[in-house]
Amino acid sequence: MRERFAEAEADLTLAADLAPNEPAILNRRGIAREALGKLTEALEDFDSAVAADPTFAPVFANRARLLQRLEDHQGAIDDFTRELEFDPGSWQAHARRGQCYSMLGLQRFAVLDFNAALTRGEGRAALYADRAVCYGEIKDFAKAVADCDRALELAPESARIFALRATWRERQRDYQGAYADLTRAAELEPDCGRYLQQRGRFLQRQGRIDEALPDFQRDVELNPSEPWAYMGRGDCRARRGDSLGAAEDYRRAAELFADLGEEEARSAALQCMEQALVA
């Protein structure tokens, strides 16, 4: 597949030399370059296509998705809005614009887009889940749980949605339901440390340290380069009185945070290590 995109890029570059202001050629080369991981060059092609013809509709959808990928959420919103001017019925544009609004913390705008997408489109389980996040962020936990319920009716094997519902159930103080959801998520994806880590943190908040420790232990085994797994295990060990074990976990977490360039988290891990050693 990569070879095909490389060939397409070469052919379209020859075509662009002959017709440098043809938006269709620039748009197609941008698609090929994005597929090859040449994101900066792809964006330049999309920008050039828009400059050549601001009424060339297909390029706005492609540039919007690339900007979303690059986490330029406001730029993506502007392009999705332009796409919707050309194609008001595009549920994908509504869904993606909603995701961008949500990332910017504009949850009520995001809900409006997800509402529009749900009335027109496919992929409804993901849309309900995305809208659930918005409702949760504005603290309407009942609606968040209800959307997760709808999503699970359509995708009953989705570990992600079970874990998401657990978040909002916990906020409703439905601790039994939250634990059941996290357990189901871990059963569906037993090799995914993320859900074990989430369940471990939940159990810590419930004071169930002896139950939380095995979840973090397994997370460390599955993801030995995941610093938060060591932080979780260190917290459990500290609360069980294993100061040396906790300090070693915090030290390892600090090393991994340093490798990731996360200085604030590294400092926090070192502080936890010092506190464990003097306990």
Give the range among 7-11, 112-116, 204-208, 262-266 with minimum mean pLDDT: 7-11
Which of 248, 242, 204, 197 has its CA nearest to residue 218? 197
Total-model pTM: 0.86
Q: Taking residues 245-254, what's their average pLDDT?
A: 96
Sign of the CA dihedral 49, 50, 55, 59? positive
Residue 13: predicted pLDDT: 87
With a cut of 90, say whether residue 1 has pLDDT above it: no
Rounded to the nearest 5 percent, the helix, strand and coil shares of the chain are 80, 0, 20
Neighbours of 148 (CB within 10 A): 29
Say if residues 233 and 220 touch (Cβ distance below 8 Å). Answer: yes
pLDDT tens-digit map of 116-172: 999 986 779 999 999 999 999 999 999 999 999 999 999 999 999 999 999 999 999
Q: How far apart are the first and last CA of the chain?
A: 57
**In this structure, are residues 147 and 135 in contact, taking their beta carbons and an 8 Å threshold?**
yes
Phi, psi of 21 (to 5 degrees): -115, 25
Identify the CA nearest to 184 among candidates 162, 200, 205.
162
Measured CA to CA, the distance from residue 169 to residue 175 in angstroms comes to 7
Residue 276: count of CB within 10 angstroms of its CB: 22
Residue 55's pLDDT is: 92
DSSP state, residue 19: S
- The pLDDT of 171-193, averaged and rounded, is 97
